[in-house]
Structure 1
Amino acid sequence: MRGRMEQISIMLPKKTIEELNLLSESENLPRSNLIRFAILQYLEKKKEGEALQKFVNENFENASDMGAVLKELIEKIVEKGKEGDNAKQRGR
């Protein structure tokens, strides 16, 4: 596990490592714990991205299907917004 954490810490942006070092000093926290937390956050976001990609792959045959669904959702949202605006105007 430790070796894997070290490999992932190398992938973290240099700026992130520098920010973690500063935070470690200012909050008097062990740097290793902060880096471990950052790595776990990185892995969690990566896992969420993979889950989202899997969902898209399973539910849409291709990008145009997804685009059509998104377009339909946007149109519904816009229509609801217009209905709300019209109701406000009638109420004035």
Structure 2
Amino acid sequence: MTGSGEDWLSDGLDVAGAESGLWVPGVDYIAGWRGAREAADRLNRALLGVGFELSDVRAVASTNEDGRGVVRLAGWPDAVDRLAQLLEVRADGCGGAA
């Protein structure tokens, strides 16, 4: 933190969302994030289980503007391409999507 008052809000944080109205008072973002975090953790364990490094590709928990949990996939393009290939092989072996 750099000082007193509300200066701490901008120390290393992107507060543009708060200024543009993306954070709505009264919305329970934490509950949505918790659910997303559980799903992201499960996906990250699965990624590790098939040989991915989380520094290359990982699931990240977030929420949308109304507090609903969202899981985003973040990764280097080559790692995401490898994941897509793995999923395509799995889908072909199962006759399509489950």
Provide the TM-score with structure 1 as the length reference.
Answer: 0.38
Larger relative contact order, structure 1 or 2 (CA cutoff 8 Å, min sep 6): 2
Larger fraction in strand: 2
The higher radius of gyration belongs to: 1
